[in-house]
Structure 1
Amino acid sequence: MTAVAPPVSGRIAETPLFAGLPGDISVSFEFFPPKSEKMEEQLWDAITQLAPLDPSFVSVTYGAGGSTRERTHATVSRIVRETSLVPAAHLTCVAASKAEIDEVVDQYWDAGVRHIVALRGDPPPADGGRFVPHPQGYASAAELVEGLKKRRDFEISVAAYPEVHPEAVSATDDLDNLKRKLDAGATRAITQFFFSTDAYFRFMDKALAAGITAPILPGIMPVTSFAAIRRMSGNTAIPGWLETMFDGMDTRPGPRALVAAVAAADLCKRLYEGGVRDFHFYTLNRAEQAYAICQLLGLRPKENAA
Protein backbone atom coordinates (compact mmCIF):
# COMPACT_ATOMS: atom_id res chain seq x y z
CA MET A 1 0.00 0.00 0.00
CA THR A 2 1.44 3.35 -1.02
CA ALA A 3 1.61 5.94 1.73
CA VAL A 4 0.07 9.33 1.01
CA ALA A 5 2.24 12.22 2.08
CA PRO A 6 0.51 14.83 4.21
CA PRO A 7 -0.13 18.13 2.44
CA VAL A 8 2.43 20.86 2.90
CA SER A 9 1.05 23.64 5.05
CA GLY A 10 -0.43 26.39 2.91
CA ARG A 11 -0.41 24.35 -0.31
CA ILE A 12 -4.11 23.46 -0.22
CA ALA A 13 -6.57 26.23 0.60
CA GLU A 14 -9.27 24.98 2.95
CA THR A 15 -12.36 26.84 1.77
CA PRO A 16 -15.62 25.15 2.76
CA LEU A 17 -18.28 25.10 0.05
CA PHE A 18 -20.61 27.61 1.72
CA ALA A 19 -18.08 29.65 3.67
CA GLY A 20 -18.25 33.42 3.68
CA LEU A 21 -21.72 33.90 2.18
CA PRO A 22 -23.09 37.07 3.79
CA GLY A 23 -26.79 36.19 3.54
CA ASP A 24 -27.55 39.30 1.47
CA ILE A 25 -30.43 37.59 -0.31
CA SER A 26 -34.20 37.85 -0.44
CA VAL A 27 -36.36 34.74 -0.39
CA SER A 28 -39.98 33.84 -0.98
CA PHE A 29 -41.81 30.57 -0.44
CA GLU A 30 -44.62 28.73 -2.20
CA PHE A 31 -47.20 26.64 -0.30
CA PHE A 32 -50.30 24.74 -1.38
CA PRO A 33 -53.68 24.74 0.40
CA PRO A 34 -54.18 21.74 2.72
CA LYS A 35 -56.75 19.02 2.03
CA SER A 36 -57.09 17.74 5.59
CA GLU A 37 -56.62 18.77 9.20
CA LYS A 38 -53.32 16.90 9.37
CA MET A 39 -52.06 18.62 6.23
CA GLU A 40 -53.15 21.98 7.63
CA GLU A 41 -51.04 21.33 10.73
CA GLN A 42 -48.07 20.51 8.49
CA LEU A 43 -48.61 23.69 6.47
CA TRP A 44 -48.75 25.93 9.52
CA ASP A 45 -45.74 24.25 11.02
CA ALA A 46 -43.85 25.08 7.81
CA ILE A 47 -45.08 28.67 7.82
CA THR A 48 -44.10 29.08 11.47
CA GLN A 49 -40.61 27.71 10.85
CA LEU A 50 -39.95 29.78 7.73
CA ALA A 51 -41.49 33.08 8.85
CA PRO A 52 -38.38 34.15 10.85
CA LEU A 53 -36.42 34.19 7.58
CA ASP A 54 -38.49 37.28 6.71
CA PRO A 55 -39.61 36.27 3.19
CA SER A 56 -40.58 39.07 0.81
CA PHE A 57 -43.83 37.17 0.17
CA VAL A 58 -45.36 33.69 0.43
CA SER A 59 -47.53 32.35 -2.37
CA VAL A 60 -50.42 29.89 -2.16
CA THR A 61 -51.23 27.75 -5.19
CA TYR A 62 -54.53 27.28 -7.02
CA GLY A 63 -55.50 23.79 -8.24
CA ALA A 64 -56.23 22.78 -11.82
CA GLY A 65 -59.51 24.21 -12.99
CA GLY A 66 -59.86 26.27 -9.82
CA SER A 67 -60.30 23.08 -7.80
CA THR A 68 -58.81 24.59 -4.64
CA ARG A 69 -60.46 28.01 -4.89
CA GLU A 70 -62.06 27.98 -1.43
CA ARG A 71 -59.07 26.36 0.28
CA THR A 72 -56.64 28.79 -1.34
CA HIS A 73 -58.76 31.73 -0.18
CA ALA A 74 -59.05 30.31 3.34
CA THR A 75 -55.27 29.77 3.58
CA VAL A 76 -54.41 33.23 2.26
CA SER A 77 -56.96 34.88 4.53
CA ARG A 78 -55.52 33.09 7.56
CA ILE A 79 -52.01 34.23 6.66
CA VAL A 80 -53.30 37.81 6.56
CA ARG A 81 -55.09 37.47 9.90
CA GLU A 82 -52.53 35.53 11.91
CA THR A 83 -49.11 36.52 10.59
CA SER A 84 -47.19 39.55 9.37
CA LEU A 85 -46.25 37.73 6.16
CA VAL A 86 -47.22 39.10 2.74
CA PRO A 87 -49.39 36.51 0.98
CA ALA A 88 -49.63 36.16 -2.79
CA ALA A 89 -52.69 34.26 -3.99
CA HIS A 90 -52.43 32.21 -7.17
CA LEU A 91 -55.21 32.77 -9.69
CA THR A 92 -55.84 31.10 -13.04
CA CYS A 93 -58.01 31.60 -16.12
CA VAL A 94 -59.23 28.00 -16.24
CA ALA A 95 -62.97 27.28 -16.15
CA ALA A 96 -63.91 30.76 -14.94
CA SER A 97 -65.67 33.73 -16.49
CA LYS A 98 -64.36 37.26 -16.08
CA ALA A 99 -67.23 37.95 -13.69
CA GLU A 100 -66.28 34.96 -11.53
CA ILE A 101 -62.65 36.07 -11.46
CA ASP A 102 -63.75 39.59 -10.51
CA GLU A 103 -65.65 38.10 -7.59
CA VAL A 104 -62.59 36.18 -6.43
CA VAL A 105 -60.21 39.13 -6.67
CA ASP A 106 -62.67 41.40 -4.85
CA GLN A 107 -62.77 38.86 -2.02
CA TYR A 108 -58.99 38.81 -1.90
CA TRP A 109 -58.82 42.59 -1.86
CA ASP A 110 -61.39 42.80 0.92
CA ALA A 111 -59.37 40.23 2.91
CA GLY A 112 -56.29 42.45 2.67
CA VAL A 113 -54.47 40.60 -0.13
CA ARG A 114 -52.52 42.89 -2.46
CA HIS A 115 -50.39 40.41 -4.42
CA ILE A 116 -51.62 37.94 -7.06
CA VAL A 117 -49.69 35.26 -8.96
CA ALA A 118 -51.51 35.34 -12.30
CA LEU A 119 -51.34 32.15 -14.37
CA ARG A 120 -53.13 30.73 -17.36
CA GLY A 121 -53.38 27.52 -15.35
CA ASP A 122 -53.43 23.80 -16.05
CA PRO A 123 -56.61 22.46 -17.63
CA PRO A 124 -58.62 19.85 -15.72
CA PRO A 125 -58.13 16.22 -16.81
CA ALA A 126 -61.61 16.22 -18.37
CA ASP A 127 -60.29 18.58 -21.07
CA GLY A 128 -57.67 16.05 -22.11
CA GLY A 129 -54.76 18.24 -21.07
CA ARG A 130 -55.70 20.96 -23.56
CA PHE A 131 -56.43 24.51 -22.42
CA VAL A 132 -59.83 25.73 -23.60
CA PRO A 133 -60.67 29.34 -22.68
CA HIS A 134 -63.97 29.92 -20.92
CA PRO A 135 -66.41 31.56 -23.41
CA GLN A 136 -66.72 34.59 -21.13
CA GLY A 137 -63.23 34.30 -19.63
CA TYR A 138 -59.64 35.24 -20.28
CA ALA A 139 -57.78 33.44 -23.05
CA SER A 140 -54.28 33.92 -21.61
CA ALA A 141 -52.31 34.98 -18.56
CA ALA A 142 -51.51 38.30 -20.28
CA GLU A 143 -55.24 39.02 -20.59
CA LEU A 144 -55.72 38.01 -16.95
CA VAL A 145 -52.98 40.42 -15.82
CA GLU A 146 -54.57 43.25 -17.78
CA GLY A 147 -57.99 42.48 -16.29
CA LEU A 148 -56.61 42.34 -12.75
CA LYS A 149 -54.86 45.68 -13.09
CA LYS A 150 -58.08 47.27 -14.34
CA ARG A 151 -60.03 45.80 -11.45
CA ARG A 152 -57.63 46.53 -8.56
CA ASP A 153 -54.10 47.85 -8.17
CA PHE A 154 -52.58 44.47 -7.32
CA GLU A 155 -48.91 43.64 -7.36
CA ILE A 156 -48.74 40.79 -9.86
CA SER A 157 -46.26 37.98 -10.42
CA VAL A 158 -46.32 35.73 -13.49
CA ALA A 159 -44.60 32.53 -14.62
CA ALA A 160 -41.47 32.20 -16.75
CA TYR A 161 -39.91 29.09 -18.32
CA PRO A 162 -36.12 29.01 -18.75
CA GLU A 163 -36.40 25.78 -20.76
CA VAL A 164 -39.60 26.81 -22.60
CA HIS A 165 -43.21 26.03 -21.71
CA PRO A 166 -44.17 22.54 -22.96
CA GLU A 167 -47.03 23.97 -25.06
CA ALA A 168 -45.07 26.86 -26.58
CA VAL A 169 -44.64 26.93 -30.35
CA SER A 170 -41.03 28.04 -29.92
CA ALA A 171 -38.65 29.62 -27.43
CA THR A 172 -39.15 32.97 -29.11
CA ASP A 173 -42.93 32.72 -28.86
CA ASP A 174 -42.64 31.74 -25.19
CA LEU A 175 -40.43 34.77 -24.49
CA ASP A 176 -42.87 37.03 -26.37
CA ASN A 177 -45.65 35.71 -24.15
CA LEU A 178 -43.65 36.56 -21.03
CA LYS A 179 -43.11 40.08 -22.34
CA ARG A 180 -46.84 40.48 -23.00
CA LYS A 181 -47.58 39.52 -19.38
CA LEU A 182 -45.08 42.01 -18.02
CA ASP A 183 -46.18 44.75 -20.41
CA ALA A 184 -49.76 44.16 -19.25
CA GLY A 185 -48.77 45.21 -15.73
CA ALA A 186 -46.99 42.33 -13.97
CA THR A 187 -44.24 43.31 -11.53
CA ARG A 188 -42.01 40.24 -11.75
CA ALA A 189 -41.76 36.71 -13.08
CA ILE A 190 -41.02 33.50 -11.19
CA THR A 191 -39.45 30.65 -13.11
CA GLN A 192 -40.43 27.03 -13.34
CA PHE A 193 -37.91 24.93 -11.42
CA PHE A 194 -34.69 24.01 -13.21
CA PHE A 195 -31.40 22.26 -12.45
CA SER A 196 -29.06 24.00 -14.89
CA THR A 197 -27.60 27.40 -14.07
CA ASP A 198 -26.60 27.71 -17.72
CA ALA A 199 -30.26 27.35 -18.74
CA TYR A 200 -31.26 30.14 -16.34
CA PHE A 201 -28.51 32.55 -17.35
CA ARG A 202 -29.02 31.92 -21.08
CA PHE A 203 -32.70 32.64 -20.55
CA MET A 204 -31.88 35.86 -18.70
CA ASP A 205 -29.62 36.98 -21.55
CA LYS A 206 -32.43 36.38 -24.05
CA ALA A 207 -34.93 38.19 -21.82
CA LEU A 208 -32.70 41.26 -21.59
CA ALA A 209 -32.16 41.19 -25.36
CA ALA A 210 -35.95 41.17 -25.78
CA GLY A 211 -36.26 44.30 -23.64
CA ILE A 212 -37.41 42.56 -20.45
CA THR A 213 -36.02 44.34 -17.40
CA ALA A 214 -38.44 43.18 -14.69
CA PRO A 215 -37.04 40.85 -12.00
CA ILE A 216 -37.13 37.16 -12.89
CA LEU A 217 -36.85 35.08 -9.72
CA PRO A 218 -35.37 31.59 -10.06
CA GLY A 219 -37.78 28.94 -8.77
CA ILE A 220 -35.91 26.37 -6.68
CA MET A 221 -37.39 22.90 -6.15
CA PRO A 222 -35.56 20.69 -3.63
CA VAL A 223 -36.02 17.03 -4.55
CA THR A 224 -38.53 15.51 -2.14
CA SER A 225 -39.16 12.60 -4.52
CA PHE A 226 -37.21 11.93 -7.69
CA ALA A 227 -40.18 10.12 -9.23
CA ALA A 228 -42.30 13.22 -8.61
CA ILE A 229 -39.65 15.46 -10.16
CA ARG A 230 -39.80 13.32 -13.30
CA ARG A 231 -43.59 13.71 -13.47
CA MET A 232 -43.47 17.47 -12.98
CA SER A 233 -40.45 18.24 -15.14
CA GLY A 234 -42.24 19.01 -18.42
CA ASN A 235 -39.51 20.53 -20.57
CA THR A 236 -37.08 20.80 -17.65
CA ALA A 237 -33.90 18.83 -18.33
CA ILE A 238 -32.85 16.42 -15.58
CA PRO A 239 -29.05 16.12 -15.72
CA GLY A 240 -27.39 12.75 -15.43
CA TRP A 241 -25.45 13.75 -12.33
CA LEU A 242 -28.74 14.44 -10.53
CA GLU A 243 -30.10 11.02 -11.45
CA THR A 244 -26.91 9.42 -10.15
CA MET A 245 -27.03 11.45 -6.95
CA PHE A 246 -30.59 10.33 -6.15
CA ASP A 247 -30.32 6.75 -7.43
CA GLY A 248 -32.12 4.50 -4.93
CA MET A 249 -32.95 7.37 -2.58
CA ASP A 250 -36.76 7.45 -2.98
CA THR A 251 -37.03 4.66 -0.39
CA ARG A 252 -34.75 6.51 2.04
CA PRO A 253 -36.50 9.81 2.80
CA GLY A 254 -34.14 10.93 5.54
CA PRO A 255 -30.87 10.71 3.57
CA ARG A 256 -32.69 11.93 0.44
CA ALA A 257 -33.74 15.13 2.19
CA LEU A 258 -30.15 15.81 3.26
CA VAL A 259 -28.79 15.22 -0.24
CA ALA A 260 -31.58 17.34 -1.76
CA ALA A 261 -30.86 20.30 0.51
CA VAL A 262 -27.16 20.31 -0.35
CA ALA A 263 -27.85 19.87 -4.09
CA ALA A 264 -30.34 22.77 -4.12
CA ALA A 265 -28.04 24.93 -2.00
CA ASP A 266 -25.21 24.30 -4.46
CA LEU A 267 -27.49 25.38 -7.32
CA CYS A 268 -28.36 28.55 -5.40
CA LYS A 269 -24.69 29.24 -4.63
CA ARG A 270 -23.82 29.05 -8.32
CA LEU A 271 -26.72 31.39 -9.12
CA TYR A 272 -25.50 33.72 -6.36
CA GLU A 273 -22.02 33.77 -7.88
CA GLY A 274 -23.71 34.85 -11.13
CA GLY A 275 -25.34 37.83 -9.42
CA VAL A 276 -28.71 36.41 -8.31
CA ARG A 277 -29.95 37.73 -4.96
CA ASP A 278 -33.66 36.77 -5.02
CA PHE A 279 -34.77 33.15 -4.71
CA HIS A 280 -38.24 31.56 -4.74
CA PHE A 281 -38.57 28.14 -3.07
CA TYR A 282 -41.21 25.55 -3.88
CA THR A 283 -41.57 24.11 -0.38
CA LEU A 284 -44.30 21.48 -0.89
CA ASN A 285 -45.40 22.57 2.61
CA ARG A 286 -42.19 21.33 4.22
CA ALA A 287 -39.84 23.74 5.94
CA GLU A 288 -36.71 21.73 6.68
CA GLN A 289 -35.03 21.77 3.27
CA ALA A 290 -35.82 25.39 2.42
CA TYR A 291 -34.64 26.48 5.87
CA ALA A 292 -31.42 24.46 5.56
CA ILE A 293 -30.69 25.93 2.12
CA CYS A 294 -31.18 29.47 3.41
CA GLN A 295 -28.89 28.70 6.35
CA LEU A 296 -26.17 27.46 3.98
CA LEU A 297 -26.56 30.64 1.91
CA GLY A 298 -25.92 32.73 5.01
CA LEU A 299 -29.47 33.90 5.66
CA ARG A 300 -30.35 34.09 9.34
CA PRO A 301 -33.69 34.53 11.17
CA LYS A 302 -34.93 38.04 11.86
CA GLU A 303 -36.18 38.93 15.31
CA ASN A 304 -39.93 39.33 15.69
CA ALA A 305 -40.67 37.89 12.23
CA ALA A 306 -43.88 35.87 12.33
Structure 2
Amino acid sequence: MARPTYSFEFFPPKSLEASFRLWDTIHALAPLDPAFVSVTYGAGGTTRELTHEAVTTIGKTTGLRVAAHLTCVNATRDETLAIARGYADAGVTDIVALRGDMPGGAPFEAHPGGFANSVELVEALHATGDFTLHVGAYPDRHPDATTDSSDVEHLKRKVDAGAKTAITQFFFDTETYFRFRDRCVAAGIDAPIIPGILPIENWKGVRKFAASCGTPIPAELDTAFAEAERDSSSDELSKRLATEMCETLIAGGVEHLHFYTLNKPHLTRDVIASLGLAPRSALDHVA
Protein backbone atom coordinates (compact mmCIF):
# COMPACT_ATOMS: atom_id res chain seq x y z
CA MET A 1 0.00 0.00 0.00
CA ALA A 2 1.36 3.42 -0.96
CA ARG A 3 2.07 5.91 1.81
CA PRO A 4 -0.95 8.19 2.27
CA THR A 5 -0.62 11.80 1.17
CA TYR A 6 -2.03 14.83 2.95
CA SER A 7 -3.05 18.44 2.44
CA PHE A 8 -3.56 21.49 4.66
CA GLU A 9 -6.25 24.14 4.84
CA PHE A 10 -5.56 27.75 5.87
CA PHE A 11 -7.76 30.81 6.17
CA PRO A 12 -6.77 34.28 4.94
CA PRO A 13 -5.59 36.81 7.56
CA LYS A 14 -7.71 39.82 8.49
CA SER A 15 -5.07 41.67 10.51
CA LEU A 16 -1.32 42.15 10.64
CA GLU A 17 -1.02 39.80 13.61
CA ALA A 18 -3.08 37.16 11.78
CA SER A 19 -0.88 37.59 8.71
CA PHE A 20 2.23 36.80 10.74
CA ARG A 21 0.47 33.74 12.20
CA LEU A 22 -0.50 32.48 8.74
CA TRP A 23 3.03 32.78 7.39
CA ASP A 24 4.51 31.17 10.48
CA THR A 25 2.09 28.28 9.92
CA ILE A 26 2.97 27.97 6.24
CA HIS A 27 6.70 28.03 6.94
CA ALA A 28 6.26 25.34 9.61
CA LEU A 29 4.17 23.03 7.42
CA ALA A 30 5.56 23.59 3.92
CA PRO A 31 8.62 21.37 4.60
CA LEU A 32 6.22 18.45 5.16
CA ASP A 33 5.65 18.46 1.39
CA PRO A 34 1.82 18.42 1.26
CA ALA A 35 0.10 17.34 -1.96
CA PHE A 36 -1.62 20.74 -1.92
CA VAL A 37 -2.83 23.46 0.43
CA SER A 38 -6.14 25.32 0.29
CA VAL A 39 -7.24 28.78 1.39
CA THR A 40 -10.80 29.39 2.57
CA TYR A 41 -13.37 32.02 1.64
CA GLY A 42 -15.14 33.94 4.42
CA ALA A 43 -18.90 33.77 4.86
CA GLY A 44 -20.62 35.95 2.30
CA GLY A 45 -17.44 36.32 0.28
CA THR A 46 -16.07 38.68 2.93
CA THR A 47 -12.46 37.59 2.38
CA ARG A 48 -12.58 37.46 -1.43
CA GLU A 49 -9.62 39.77 -2.00
CA LEU A 50 -7.70 38.42 0.99
CA THR A 51 -8.17 34.87 -0.27
CA HIS A 52 -6.90 35.83 -3.72
CA GLU A 53 -3.87 37.57 -2.24
CA ALA A 54 -3.05 34.64 0.06
CA VAL A 55 -3.46 32.05 -2.70
CA THR A 56 -1.26 33.83 -5.19
CA THR A 57 1.39 34.77 -2.62
CA ILE A 58 1.64 31.25 -1.20
CA GLY A 59 2.04 29.83 -4.69
CA LYS A 60 4.72 32.31 -5.69
CA THR A 61 6.77 32.23 -2.51
CA THR A 62 6.64 28.53 -1.59
CA GLY A 63 6.03 26.65 -4.81
CA LEU A 64 3.21 24.73 -3.11
CA ARG A 65 0.20 23.66 -5.14
CA VAL A 66 -2.60 25.90 -3.90
CA ALA A 67 -6.36 25.34 -4.17
CA ALA A 68 -8.50 28.47 -3.88
CA HIS A 69 -11.93 28.27 -2.30
CA LEU A 70 -14.68 29.86 -4.40
CA THR A 71 -18.35 30.21 -3.47
CA CYS A 72 -21.69 31.24 -4.96
CA VAL A 73 -22.45 33.91 -2.35
CA ASN A 74 -22.86 37.64 -3.04
CA ALA A 75 -21.62 37.64 -6.63
CA THR A 76 -23.08 37.30 -10.14
CA ARG A 77 -22.00 34.49 -12.43
CA ASP A 78 -19.81 36.89 -14.40
CA GLU A 79 -18.15 38.20 -11.25
CA THR A 80 -17.46 34.70 -9.96
CA LEU A 81 -16.03 33.51 -13.27
CA ALA A 82 -13.89 36.67 -13.46
CA ILE A 83 -12.38 35.71 -10.10
CA ALA A 84 -11.72 32.23 -11.45
CA ARG A 85 -10.03 33.68 -14.56
CA GLY A 86 -7.82 35.73 -12.28
CA TYR A 87 -6.75 32.56 -10.52
CA ALA A 88 -6.05 30.83 -13.83
CA ASP A 89 -3.98 33.81 -15.00
CA ALA A 90 -1.98 33.58 -11.75
CA GLY A 91 -1.21 29.91 -12.41
CA VAL A 92 -3.68 28.45 -9.92
CA THR A 93 -4.87 25.05 -11.16
CA ASP A 94 -7.15 23.92 -8.30
CA ILE A 95 -10.40 25.32 -6.93
CA VAL A 96 -12.53 24.12 -4.02
CA ALA A 97 -16.02 24.96 -5.33
CA LEU A 98 -18.62 25.49 -2.61
CA ARG A 99 -22.08 26.96 -2.24
CA GLY A 100 -20.84 29.04 0.68
CA ASP A 101 -22.49 30.52 3.75
CA MET A 102 -24.38 33.76 4.17
CA PRO A 103 -23.12 36.34 6.67
CA GLY A 104 -24.41 35.93 10.20
CA GLY A 105 -25.64 32.39 9.61
CA ALA A 106 -28.65 33.52 7.55
CA PRO A 107 -30.31 30.97 5.23
CA PHE A 108 -28.63 30.73 1.84
CA GLU A 109 -30.07 33.01 -0.81
CA ALA A 110 -28.75 33.00 -4.37
CA HIS A 111 -27.50 36.34 -5.65
CA PRO A 112 -29.59 37.75 -8.52
CA GLY A 113 -27.75 36.61 -11.62
CA GLY A 114 -25.52 34.35 -9.52
CA PHE A 115 -25.08 30.62 -9.23
CA ALA A 116 -27.99 28.96 -7.45
CA ASN A 117 -25.88 26.18 -5.95
CA SER A 118 -22.51 24.45 -6.04
CA VAL A 119 -23.55 22.12 -8.87
CA GLU A 120 -24.02 25.09 -11.20
CA LEU A 121 -20.68 26.52 -10.05
CA VAL A 122 -18.86 23.26 -10.71
CA GLU A 123 -20.45 22.97 -14.15
CA ALA A 124 -19.33 26.47 -15.12
CA LEU A 125 -15.80 26.05 -13.79
CA HIS A 126 -15.45 22.64 -15.41
CA ALA A 127 -16.49 24.14 -18.76
CA THR A 128 -13.47 26.48 -18.64
CA GLY A 129 -11.09 23.52 -18.66
CA ASP A 130 -8.73 25.48 -16.39
CA PHE A 131 -9.05 23.73 -13.06
CA THR A 132 -9.02 20.54 -11.06
CA LEU A 133 -12.17 20.88 -8.98
CA HIS A 134 -12.69 19.80 -5.38
CA VAL A 135 -16.03 20.01 -3.55
CA GLY A 136 -17.37 19.62 -0.04
CA ALA A 137 -19.01 16.50 1.38
CA TYR A 138 -20.98 15.90 4.58
CA PRO A 139 -20.70 12.56 6.41
CA ASP A 140 -23.08 13.93 9.03
CA ARG A 141 -26.29 15.38 7.64
CA HIS A 142 -25.93 18.96 6.40
CA PRO A 143 -28.27 21.37 8.24
CA ASP A 144 -29.96 22.25 4.91
CA ALA A 145 -30.37 18.62 3.76
CA THR A 146 -34.02 17.66 3.31
CA THR A 147 -33.56 13.88 3.66
CA ASP A 148 -30.93 11.45 4.95
CA SER A 149 -29.92 10.69 1.35
CA SER A 150 -29.75 14.31 0.18
CA ASP A 151 -26.03 14.78 0.89
CA VAL A 152 -25.03 11.76 -1.19
CA GLU A 153 -27.40 12.69 -4.01
CA HIS A 154 -26.07 16.24 -4.11
CA LEU A 155 -22.47 15.04 -4.08
CA LYS A 156 -23.24 12.73 -6.99
CA ARG A 157 -24.51 15.71 -8.98
CA LYS A 158 -21.32 17.66 -8.23
CA VAL A 159 -19.09 14.78 -9.30
CA ASP A 160 -21.14 14.28 -12.48
CA ALA A 161 -20.71 18.02 -13.13
CA GLY A 162 -16.91 17.72 -13.07
CA ALA A 163 -15.60 17.53 -9.50
CA LYS A 164 -12.55 15.27 -9.13
CA THR A 165 -12.43 14.90 -5.35
CA ALA A 166 -14.66 15.61 -2.35
CA ILE A 167 -13.31 16.85 0.99
CA THR A 168 -15.50 16.11 3.98
CA GLN A 169 -16.58 18.29 6.84
CA PHE A 170 -14.79 17.24 10.03
CA PHE A 171 -16.30 14.44 12.09
CA PHE A 172 -15.59 12.80 15.44
CA ASP A 173 -16.36 9.15 14.62
CA THR A 174 -14.50 7.27 11.89
CA GLU A 175 -17.48 4.97 11.40
CA THR A 176 -19.44 8.05 10.30
CA TYR A 177 -16.90 8.54 7.51
CA PHE A 178 -16.82 4.87 6.49
CA ARG A 179 -20.62 4.61 6.35
CA PHE A 180 -20.77 7.76 4.24
CA ARG A 181 -18.06 6.48 1.88
CA ASP A 182 -19.96 3.19 1.45
CA ARG A 183 -23.14 5.10 0.61
CA CYS A 184 -21.25 7.16 -1.96
CA VAL A 185 -19.82 4.07 -3.63
CA ALA A 186 -23.29 2.47 -3.69
CA ALA A 187 -24.60 5.63 -5.40
CA GLY A 188 -21.99 5.33 -8.16
CA ILE A 189 -19.67 8.09 -6.94
CA ASP A 190 -16.16 7.18 -8.07
CA ALA A 191 -14.33 10.33 -6.93
CA PRO A 192 -12.09 10.00 -3.86
CA ILE A 193 -13.84 11.01 -0.62
CA ILE A 194 -11.09 12.74 1.36
CA PRO A 195 -11.65 12.87 5.13
CA GLY A 196 -11.32 16.30 6.73
CA ILE A 197 -9.33 16.07 9.97
CA LEU A 198 -9.61 18.76 12.65
CA PRO A 199 -6.93 18.50 15.34
CA ILE A 200 -8.69 20.03 18.34
CA GLU A 201 -6.85 23.16 19.47
CA ASN A 202 -9.73 24.42 21.61
CA TRP A 203 -12.48 22.00 22.58
CA LYS A 204 -15.04 24.66 23.54
CA GLY A 205 -14.60 26.41 20.19
CA VAL A 206 -14.75 23.18 18.19
CA ARG A 207 -17.78 22.03 20.16
CA LYS A 208 -19.62 25.27 19.39
CA PHE A 209 -18.80 25.04 15.71
CA ALA A 210 -19.81 21.38 15.54
CA ALA A 211 -23.18 22.19 17.10
CA SER A 212 -23.78 24.94 14.55
CA CYS A 213 -23.19 22.65 11.59
CA GLY A 214 -25.05 19.62 12.91
CA THR A 215 -22.06 17.41 13.71
CA PRO A 216 -22.93 15.00 16.55
CA ILE A 217 -20.75 15.53 19.62
CA PRO A 218 -19.76 12.39 21.57
CA ALA A 219 -20.38 12.84 25.29
CA GLU A 220 -17.12 11.09 26.10
CA LEU A 221 -15.18 13.94 24.47
CA ASP A 222 -16.75 16.44 26.86
CA THR A 223 -15.54 14.31 29.75
CA ALA A 224 -12.10 13.69 28.28
CA PHE A 225 -11.39 17.35 27.56
CA ALA A 226 -12.72 18.48 30.94
CA GLU A 227 -10.23 16.12 32.60
CA ALA A 228 -7.43 17.15 30.23
CA GLU A 229 -7.98 20.83 30.95
CA ARG A 230 -7.66 20.18 34.69
CA ASP A 231 -4.21 18.64 34.28
CA SER A 232 -3.08 20.79 31.31
CA SER A 233 -2.88 17.85 28.90
CA SER A 234 -5.34 19.03 26.24
CA ASP A 235 -2.69 19.10 23.49
CA GLU A 236 -1.59 15.54 24.29
CA LEU A 237 -5.21 14.36 24.21
CA SER A 238 -5.87 16.15 20.92
CA LYS A 239 -2.76 14.70 19.33
CA ARG A 240 -3.67 11.17 20.46
CA LEU A 241 -7.27 11.43 19.26
CA ALA A 242 -6.31 12.81 15.83
CA THR A 243 -3.51 10.27 15.39
CA GLU A 244 -5.78 7.35 16.30
CA MET A 245 -8.47 8.64 13.95
CA CYS A 246 -5.99 8.90 11.07
CA GLU A 247 -4.56 5.44 11.79
CA THR A 248 -8.07 3.96 11.64
CA LEU A 249 -8.86 5.79 8.40
CA ILE A 250 -5.61 4.68 6.77
CA ALA A 251 -6.23 1.07 7.87
CA GLY A 252 -9.65 1.39 6.22
CA GLY A 253 -8.13 2.29 2.87
CA VAL A 254 -7.96 6.10 3.00
CA GLU A 255 -5.17 7.35 0.73
CA HIS A 256 -5.28 11.08 1.50
CA LEU A 257 -5.94 13.16 4.63
CA HIS A 258 -6.96 16.83 4.63
CA PHE A 259 -6.08 18.78 7.79
CA TYR A 260 -7.98 21.85 8.95
CA THR A 261 -5.05 23.69 10.52
CA LEU A 262 -6.89 26.81 11.77
CA ASN A 263 -3.58 28.57 10.98
CA LYS A 264 -1.92 26.81 13.93
CA PRO A 265 0.74 24.33 12.83
CA HIS A 266 1.94 22.39 15.84
CA LEU A 267 -0.83 19.79 16.30
CA THR A 268 -1.07 19.04 12.58
CA ARG A 269 2.71 18.71 12.36
CA ASP A 270 2.83 16.46 15.43
CA VAL A 271 0.06 14.19 14.15
CA ILE A 272 1.79 13.70 10.81
CA ALA A 273 5.04 12.94 12.64
CA SER A 274 3.24 10.40 14.86
CA LEU A 275 1.84 8.71 11.78
CA GLY A 276 5.34 8.43 10.30
CA LEU A 277 4.25 10.17 7.10
CA ALA A 278 6.60 13.16 7.06
CA PRO A 279 10.00 13.13 5.34
CA ARG A 280 12.80 12.83 7.90
CA SER A 281 14.49 15.95 6.62
CA ALA A 282 11.25 17.90 7.07
CA LEU A 283 10.95 16.88 10.71
CA ASP A 284 14.54 17.95 11.34
CA HIS A 285 13.72 21.31 9.73
CA VAL A 286 10.61 22.06 11.79
CA ALA A 287 11.62 20.54 15.13
Where on the TM-score scale, by shorter chain, does this alignment land: which range? over 0.9
Equivalent residue, structure 1, for 2:51: 72
CA distance in structure 2 between the aligned counterparts of 1:197 and 1:142, rounded to whole angstroms: 27
In 2, are the aligned partners of 1:23 and 1:298 still within 8 Å (CA)?
no
Residue 245 of structure 1 deviates from its aligned partner by 1.2
CA distance in structure 1 between the aligned counterparts of 2:132 and 2:230, rounded to whole angstroms: 41
In 2, are the aligned partners of 1:54 and 1:302 still within 8 Å (CA)?
no
Letter in 2 for 1:270: T
Equivalent residue, structure 1, for 2:267: 289
Residue 285 of structure 1 deviates from its aligned partner by 0.4
CA RMSD of aligned residues (A): 2.0
CA distance in structure 1 between the aligned counterparts of 2:153 and 2:281, rounded to whole angstroms: 42
Which structure has greater helix proportion?
Answer: 2
Choose 1 or 2 for highest CA Rg.
Answer: 1
| Structure 2, unpaired ranges of 5+ | none
Equivalent residue, structure 2, for 1:244: 223
CA distance in structure 1 between the aligned counterparts of 2:57 and 2:247, rounded to whole angstroms: 33
| Structure 1, unpaired ranges of 5+ | 1-21
Residue 64 of structure 1 deviates from its aligned partner by 0.6
The reply to whether residue 184 of structure 1 matches residue 161 of structure 2 is yes
CA distance in structure 1 between the aligned counterparts of 2:132 and 2:29, rounded to whole angstroms: 22
Equivalent residue, structure 2, for 1:25: 4
SS in 1 for 2:142: coil
Query: What is the TM-score normalised by the length of structure 1?
Result: 0.88
Equivalent residue, structure 2, for 1:18: none
CA distance in structure 2 between the aligned counterparts of 1:247 and 1:80, rounded to whole angstroms: 40
Equivalent residue, structure 2, for 1:209: 186
In 1, are the aligned partners of 2:88 and 2:130 still within 8 Å (CA)?
no
In 2, are the aligned partners of 1:52 and 1:302 still within 8 Å (CA)?
no
CA distance in structure 1 between the aligned counterparts of 2:89 and 2:279, rounded to whole angstroms: 31
CA distance in structure 2 between the aligned counterparts of 1:268 and 1:293, rounded to whole angstroms: 9
Runs of 4+ that moved beyond 4 A: 248-252, 302-306
Equivalent residue, structure 1, for 2:234: 256
Q: Percent identity?
A: 48
Pick the aligned partner of 2:83 from 90, 93, 104.
104
Higher mean Cα deviation, 147-156 or 204-213? 147-156
CA distance in structure 1 between the aligned counterparts of 2:94 and 2:280, rounded to whole angstroms: 23
CA distance in structure 2 between the aligned counterparts of 1:228 and 1:251, rounded to whole angstroms: 17
Residue 140 of structure 1 deviates from its aligned partner by 0.6
Which deviations, in whole Å up to 9, do the C-alpha atoms of 1:231-283 show, x marking residues without a partner?
A: 2112211112211111165688x632222111111111111111112100000
Equivalent residue, structure 2, for 1:173: 150
Letter in 1 for 2:48: R
Residue 111 of structure 1 deviates from its aligned partner by 1.0
